[in-house]
Structure 1
Amino acid sequence: MYYSSAEHYVKPEDMNAMDRILRVNQRIDFPLREGDILKSGSHGAQVTCLADSCRWPRAVDGFVYVPYIISRQYEDMDRITIETGMLDISSATCVKFVPRTHEPNFLNIESRTGCWSYLGMTGGSQTLSLQSPGCMWSGVAAHQLMHALGFVHEQSRSDRDYHISILWENIPEDQRDNFRKYETNNLNTAYDYSSVMHYGRYAFSEDGGPTIIPKPDPYIPMGQRDGPSLTDIHKINILYNCD
């Protein structure tokens, strides 16, 4: 599968998390939705994850524990990067990533080809791929962890047309499905240009022209790579009923 990525149009130091993800995922030869979401058998047609069936369960103490295993193939610095992405979420929400002991449902974090995740909890051993070294940004790790928690990309929101314009003429026909808009529950939050879940300006560009333009100010930066924005954190807290 070929992705027109931002690598030829955006300086490496200006790439956001999704720019980097699309660059790494160019070599993937299996289908991904929106560039980095893997379909599962149980949730194959699922485009949003706001039901209890795909949220990680809340424990009696009020926290949401997400067990994980990190592959031994990672070097120490890779583990630190991944765990930083976890900490950026767990330090400000009731979602706590914990090493797996015996739990039946858990994230199995491996360095496979590309950066991708399933959407929400799928049950059993749930692979989340963070290829080393390509995906080794803490913001990329946080992006995939938010998919695993049930969050889609920001520009997929139902109200996105009030905040961005999609330049369809700059997107190859076989990639336009990556810009679908869904009937999402936006959790009473404002559209967030700075979300770590937002596409970059040139995502899936066919010829170097922009594919997304913000409104009303076309120069507003979109996305970033440092980790979840304040609104990202707020949405996690709302979805998981954190106190």
Structure 2
Amino acid sequence: MDPMFFLTENVVEEDTSAELSVGELLTRANRDITPEADEPTLIGDIAMPSEKNADPCTATGCLWQTYSDGNIWVPYVIANHFSSREVAIIQRGLDSFAETTCIRFFQRQNERDYLSIESRSGCYSYVGRQGNAQTVSLARQGCLYHSTIQHELLHALGFNHEQTRSDRDNHIHVYWENIIDEYKYAFEKIATLNQGTSYDYNSVMQYHRYAFSKNNHPTMVPFPDSNVSFGEATQMSKNDIDRLNRLYGC
């Protein structure tokens, strides 16, 4: 397949999502960024409301609404600073959920709660429905890839990173000594929404084994087979899809 190209203001970027994992793309896009004063506190690529802690979406109040047709309709707006080519890439990511789940993203009319998709400082999203407008940042330089769009939208739908799963110590070993100090909090276990699914080394929510490494040594290694494919997803896995459908009763 030929690589896909798109224009930013002064740069033509190649869509290499077929070659790079979502973890690699996110690490590159969010490296050394300085959020603007009006942006939220970030933990990796997760935006944290000031009045909440780092726990994931675990209550029905942070899920999006089920409509009478049984589907979950999630309103969104796409900022007008994206080019038509960039909008098409974002739209492809939004539409991909309808192919395998009951999630239906649609353009906002006058709904109170909605996703505001913007090019801000890197790639990030809140976890779960927050109420009113909530930003999903897809920076024009670094975030416009199918895998990163799916990743951030899964955050918005209520999911956290695979490596923070409550049962992760049964599946991966975290090498704390290799992690950049200010990113260690991104590896803390939390009460994730596992939905009865197994740990998924190839989840689009799983970072790669060198994520946030300070010394080029692995920060995570799977076991018992350390050579298993790990953190290399370029799109949602079957487990990601099953988990999402179970959470929303699809």
TM-score, normalising length: structure 2? 0.87
State the SS of the aligned residue for 1:121.
Answer: coil
Match runs of 1:21-170 below 5 Å: 21-30=26-35, 31-33=41-43, 35-42=44-51, 44-170=52-178
State the SS of the aligned residue for 1:73.
Answer: coil
State the SS of the aligned residue for 1:165.
Answer: strand
Runs of 4 or more consecutive aligned structure 1 residues displaced over 6 Å after TM superposition = none
Give the letter for the 1:214 counterpart: P
Give the C-alpha shift of residue 161 in structure 1. 0.8
Match runs of 1:164-183 below 5 Å: 164-183=172-191
Give the C-alpha shift of residue 185 in structure 1. 3.7
Give the letter for the 2:45 counterpart: D
Match runs of 1:199-210 below 5 Å: 199-210=207-218
Give the letter for the 2:42 counterpart: L
Give the C-alpha shift of residue 12 in structure 1. 9.0
Cross-structure match for 1:4: none
Is the alpha carbon distance of 1:66 and 1:206 closer, same or farther for their aligned partners in structure 2, counting shifts above 3 Å?
same
Is the alpha carbon distance of 1:142 and 1:50 closer, same or farther for their aligned partners in structure 2, counting shifts above 3 Å?
same
**CA distance in structure 2 between the partners assigned to 1:198 and 1:79 by the alignment:** 26
Aligned-residue Cα RMSD (Å) equals: 1.7
Give the letter for the 2:28 counterpart: R
Aligned residues: 230
Q: Percent identity?
A: 40
**CA distance in structure 1 between the partners assigned to 2:184 and 2:50 by the alignment:** 23
Of residues 169, 194, 198, the one that matches 1:190 is 198
State the SS of the aligned residue for 1:65.
Answer: strand
Give the C-alpha shift of residue 48 in structure 1. 1.4
**CA distance in structure 2 between the partners assigned to 1:46 and 1:102 by the alignment:** 30
**CA distance in structure 2 between the partners assigned to 1:85 and 1:166 by the alignment:** 31
**CA distance in structure 2 between the partners assigned to 1:216 and 1:77 by the alignment:** 44
Give unpaired runs (5+ residues) of structure 1. 1-10
State the SS of the aligned residue for 2:105.
Answer: strand
Give unpaired runs (5+ residues) of structure 2. 1-15, 36-40
State the SS of the aligned residue for 1:91.
Answer: helix
**CA distance in structure 2 between the partners assigned to 1:227 and 1:13 by the alignment:** 9
Kindly provide the CA deviation profile for residues 15-72 of structure 1, in whole angstroms up to 9, marking residues without a partner as x: 3112211211123224411x10011145x21411121111111112211000000112
**CA distance in structure 2 between the partners assigned to 1:29 and 1:136 by the alignment:** 19
